[in-house]
Structure 1
Amino acid sequence: MAVRDGSGQCNATVRPVWPKFWVGIALQIRSRMSRQSTRERLEPVLDPAEERLTSRAVLGATIGNILEFYDFGTYSFFAIQIGQAFFPATDSFASLMLSLATFGVGFVTRPIGAIVLGSYSDRAGRRPAMTASFTMMSAAVLLLAITPSYETIGLAAPSLVVFARLLQGFALGGEVGPTTAYLMEAAPAEARGLAVSFQPASQQIAATAGALVGEILSLTMTSEALNAYGWRIALLLGAATLPFGLWLRSVLPETLHRPEAPVLVTEPGGQSRADRRIMCLGFVILASCTITTYVTGYMTTYAMNTLHVSAPVAFGTTLISNAVGIAAALLGGLLADRAGRRLIMIWPQVTALLMTYPVFLWIAESRSAFALLGGLGALTLIGTIPYSAFYVSMAEGLPRNIRGGAFATIYAFAIVVFGGTAQPIVTWLIHLTGSALVPAWYMLFASAAGLFAMLMMPETAPLNFRPKNDPS
């Protein structure tokens, strides 16, 4: 039997030739030298025995993720106001489209940031890559918040905004991979699922925070004030927390060289092939997750434009789905630690697949608040659980030396290809067919593809913490 160590290499079992006494002496000397060299380093390194550092590490990675996704999403919420400030046009529609096009520019640089910062995290460490990503995001947010309007500095205003969006996209592209790898490596083996689940949960928290800030500002400010400077307040609220986030990340302990629990390799000598297989399956699953997430985020527009429900009910769908998504993401990670990765990926995905069409049929026919909020909430609850298990499964399945870069790159390309096109495709298909069930069919297609890939994913839970009935 071959076992993969933390560096991703396959090592055959070799009989020790030294007497046990001398082996013990050698291990003690090496342990003392390792502790001494660690104390002499300037960088803090995570000690497996210091579990209190695990909590701080998870908090630091999660807070940074929340702040970055909040800043990235706030632009989307205030797209109309930003368009009026930086992209004046002959009509409001043209101004909005220019603003949305600038928002889309941020997706272009995501894969570049994923490749550059992700691979950097595999060479230099998770902490330097996360700190660099957060620093670039901080600069982009401040630039966007303080840039004068088009009326003040002319063409320089939209040019600076486009540059800020490119920098934001680059930084965010390099955020997810190193952060996910860090969360997995910082956690004890029996709690990896819960730790990594803070990655998708933090994105939901950021979306909820951005929506709440936007809602509060829109209710407390006049439309003139909101258009003039309200959106700047929302961005500066996020920027106010940036010094704390930078400090927190700068003192995080490093995890790149931390020992890991062994993972079984089913094909000795075929590690490269196994890595490519996991990356291909991961791309399909992330594409499925991206489509489901973006279609769910489209439900506010869908409820108002297609179902013609009231605005409060329509906006309530976003808050309900985000709140349920936070709880479901954490629940998925917790269950993955108890029952293994594959079971928690597969069975909730099957359930969500069977629920999707009946739920949307109920919503489309009744067009009631209870159907919209209750049905979508239940679907979000079940449908989010498998992806938390997948996050930790893919992070565990990738060798340490490519984990950050591979995860970041696959995630970024899935977002660019399927996230940026999901809502336009659904809108176009609804217009083409006139059917209110288009989101259901699109989500069914994505969920089926994701389920097919999940069925081929290996069990990656550490050998010592797998369920007793796990056959692998």
Structure 2
Amino acid sequence: MEISQGSAALAHAGAEPVRPLALAGKIKRAKAVAAITIGNGLEYFEFTSYSFFAIIIGKLYFPATGDIAQLLLVTATFGIGFVARPVGGLLLGAYADRAGRKAAMTLTLQLMALGSAMIVFAPTYAQIGLAAPALIVAARLIQGFALGGEIGASTSLLMEYADDRSRGFYGGLQAVSQNLSALLGALTGLLLTAILTTPSLESWGWRIPFAIGLLMGPLGVFIRRNLHETLDDGPAGAGKQTHGGVIRSVFAQHKKQIVAGILLTMGSTAAIYITLYYIPTYATKILHMSMSAGLAAACVAAAVAAVVAPLAGKLSDRVGRKAVFGAFCMLLVLVIYPAFAIINAHPSLNALLPIIALLSFLTTFIAVPSLVMLPEMFPRPVRVTGMSVVYCVGVSIFGGFAPFFATELMALSGSNLAPSWYVIGCAVIALLSLPLIQDKAGLPLD
């Protein structure tokens, strides 16, 4: 507002510095967007690295008889990291709506670093017995708690920086950071499997990504140090409520938004966690391909998502969030079952990589408008809390435990195509949320 008023005054006086002032504003905003999205990506690198090394972690910390039994233990532990997400979303979201977005995001970075440190230095089951898996579970809970607060605070801040015609595009940038972090994690895994022997990888090499994540915490805090606090720009009461008041307000006044948001999140999160995070394990354990093949598929999925996410956001700005979400949900429902049938009939990289690229493309056009619609549902004084609750509940149940549910479905049915059934079911249910949601593409956020 100050920049636009100053520009108008200078233009009225016949001066020329309007363009430099506008440029300065754009540069300032670009720096802020970079700080928000990069910080979010750093946290996702720490959290998602676990999925790419799930097989090794399972072998070292969760010994079990049989591949399926061990796979169930590992995928359940991956899901445990999501159990704490709703709690983190609720408490850290209320903190962000009371003390500010910046304060909450700084705290989440510090908590993520603590969780990574616990994994880096955790002794194995062979060394300390049952205390070893307990340490891993505790670390995952801490990281899940932190990430539960991060996504709501950072996405809400990003939406509050955007204007009415660009919120979808900005949401796409948030998805870019998350997928680039997943790509970096998968590439790190590929590099380690290429340069290390199996004994070296299992004894210490798998800890390297978590050590990198540990170092990223201070970097993220530094990057975000100069962000403008958008909570101060809201109504006079914003940020003045008590912690409990924020939480009560969300559940008392926004019940419809909570239900709609959780249903909406089901479709995107189930697709993301099956097509990206479960694929390395599925390719290795079910298709009997090499670990590097599974990681290569994850790299392709993350790279495709990172490239098309801004396009998905722009399309939702132009034609509406609900139209994009609904159309691509239906396309995914039609495509995913034959896609899984093909990779099971032809378990090779030539089949796996293009199939995963297609599924990632469709999933991204579902995930981006979904991510943008969530903060648009809630007013500024409770936006972070509201978004965090619905996103984290949806992701925790239908995303974090998606690998576990998919594995259990395979065990019960005897069919390797069961993961596709799970995605189809979640996508169909997600479509039911659309009549409950106002499409705010092109409309004021507040």
Give the 3 Å change call, closer, same or farther, for CA 429–103 of structure 1 in structure 2: closer
* Structure 1 counterpart SS, 2:390: helix
What is the deviation of 1:361? 4.3
What is the deviation of 1:365? 4.7
Distance in 1 between the 2:152 and 2:329 partners? 23
Distance in 2 between the 1:177 and 1:136 partners? 16
Give the 3 Å change call, closer, same or farther, for CA 149–197 of structure 1 in structure 2: same
Are 1:256 and 2:231 an aligned pair? yes
Task: Report if aligned partners of 2:318, 2:441 keep a CA contact under 8 Å in 1.
Answer: no
Are 1:193 and 2:173 an aligned pair? no
Which protein is richer in helix relative to its size? 2
Are 1:282 and 2:261 an aligned pair? yes
1:141 is matched with which residue: 104, 116, 136? Answer: 116
What is the deviation of 1:198? 2.5
Task: Report if aligned partners of 2:116, 2:214 keep a CA contact under 8 Å in 1.
Answer: yes
> 1:78: which partner in 2?
53
Cα deviation per residue 1:196-219 (whole Å; 9 max; x = unaligned)? 223333222222111111121121
Give the 3 Å change call, closer, same or farther, for CA 300–404 of structure 1 in structure 2: same
Task: Report if aligned partners of 2:71, 2:407 keep a CA contact under 8 Å in 1.
Answer: no
What is the deviation of 1:121? 0.8
Cα deviation per residue 1:184-238 (whole Å; 9 max; x = unaligned)? 0112332211112233332222221111111211211222322222123222222
Give the 3 Å change call, closer, same or farther, for CA 82–276 of structure 1 in structure 2: same
Are 1:401 and 2:381 an aligned pair? yes
Task: Report if aligned partners of 1:109, 1:166 keep a CA contact under 8 Å in 2.
Answer: yes
What is the deviation of 1:289? 1.4
Distance in 2 between the 1:48 and 1:459 partners? 31
Are 1:220 and 2:195 an aligned pair? yes
Give the 3 Å change call, closer, same or farther, for CA 76–441 of structure 1 in structure 2: closer
Distance in 2 between the 1:155 and 1:433 partners? 32
What is the deviation of 1:385? 0.7
Task: Report if aligned partners of 1:113, 1:170 keep a CA contact under 8 Å in 2.
Answer: yes
Distance in 1 between the 2:254 and 2:206 partners? 44
- Aligned ranges 1:61-460 → 2 under 5 Å: 61-82=36-57, 102-147=77-122, 160-258=135-233, 275-297=254-276, 298-307=278-287, 313-365=293-345, 369-460=349-440
Give the 3 Å change call, closer, same or farther, for CA 366–114 of structure 1 in structure 2: same
Give the 3 Å change call, closer, same or farther, for CA 390–146 of structure 1 in structure 2: same
What is the deviation of 1:131? 0.8
Task: Report if aligned partners of 1:70, 1:206 keep a CA contact under 8 Å in 2.
Answer: yes
Q: Letter of the aligned partner of 1:400 in structure 2?
A: R
> 1:469: which partner in 2?
none
What is the deviation of 1:274? 8.4
Structural RMSD (CA): 3.5
Q: Letter of the aligned partner of 2:141 in structure 1?
A: L
Task: Report if aligned partners of 2:283, 2:289 keep a CA contact under 8 Å in 1.
Answer: yes
> 2:15: which partner in 1?
none
Task: Report if aligned partners of 1:81, 1:228 keep a CA contact under 8 Å in 2.
Answer: no
* Structure 2 counterpart SS, 1:174: helix
Give the 3 Å change call, closer, same or farther, for CA 122–321 of structure 1 in structure 2: same
Cα deviation per residue 1:277-313 (whole Å; 9 max; x = unaligned)? 2321111110111211222133344445545566655
> 2:243: which partner in 1?
none
Give the 3 Å change call, closer, same or farther, for CA 281–312 of structure 1 in structure 2: same
Q: What TM-score does the superposition give when structure 2 sets the normalisation length?
A: 0.80
What is the deviation of 1:160? 4.5
Distance in 2 between the 1:83 and 1:300 partners? 14
Distance in 2 between the 1:422 and 1:348 partners? 20
Q: Letter of the aligned partner of 1:327 in structure 2?
A: V
Cα deviation per residue 1:64-98 (whole Å; 9 max; x = unaligned)? 21111111122333345445666689999998877
Give the 3 Å change call, closer, same or farther, for CA 362–227 of structure 1 in structure 2: closer
Q: Letter of the aligned partner of 1:427 in structure 2?
A: T
* Structure 1 counterpart SS, 2:232: coil
Task: Report if aligned partners of 2:168, 2:314 keep a CA contact under 8 Å in 1.
Answer: yes
* Structure 2 counterpart SS, 1:224: helix
Q: What TM-score does the superposition give when structure 1 sets the normalisation length?
A: 0.76
Task: Report if aligned partners of 1:84, 1:96 keep a CA contact under 8 Å in 2.
Answer: no
Give the 3 Å change call, closer, same or farther, for CA 274–201 of structure 1 in structure 2: farther
Give the 3 Å change call, closer, same or farther, for CA 358–221 of structure 1 in structure 2: closer
Deviating more after overlay: 288-297 vs 417-426: 417-426
Task: Report if aligned partners of 1:121, 1:178 keep a CA contact under 8 Å in 2.
Answer: yes
Cα deviation per residue 1:345-393 (whole Å; 9 max; x = unaligned)? 2222233333334434444555564443323322321232132112212
Cα deviation per residue 1:88-129 (whole Å; 9 max; x = unaligned)? 899999988776655443222221111100111111111111
Deviating more after overlay: 163-172 vs 302-311: 302-311
What is the deviation of 1:133? 0.8
Deviating more after overlay: 80-89 vs 99-108: 80-89
Give the 3 Å change call, closer, same or farther, for CA 277–208 of structure 1 in structure 2: same
Give the 3 Å change call, closer, same or farther, for CA 201–229 of structure 1 in structure 2: same
Distance in 1 between the 2:96 and 2:129 partners? 39
- Aligned ranges 1:42-61 → 2 under 5 Å: 50-61=25-36
Task: Report if aligned partners of 2:76, 2:401 keep a CA contact under 8 Å in 1.
Answer: no
Task: Report if aligned partners of 1:114, 1:408 keep a CA contact under 8 Å in 2.
Answer: yes
* Structure 2 counterpart SS, 1:50: helix
Equivalences, count: 412
Distance in 2 between the 1:100 and 1:438 partners? 15
Distance in 1 between the 2:80 and 2:346 partners? 39
Deviating more after overlay: 323-332 vs 85-94: 85-94
Give the 3 Å change call, closer, same or farther, for CA 390–80 of structure 1 in structure 2: closer
Distance in 1 between the 2:81 and 2:75 partners? 10
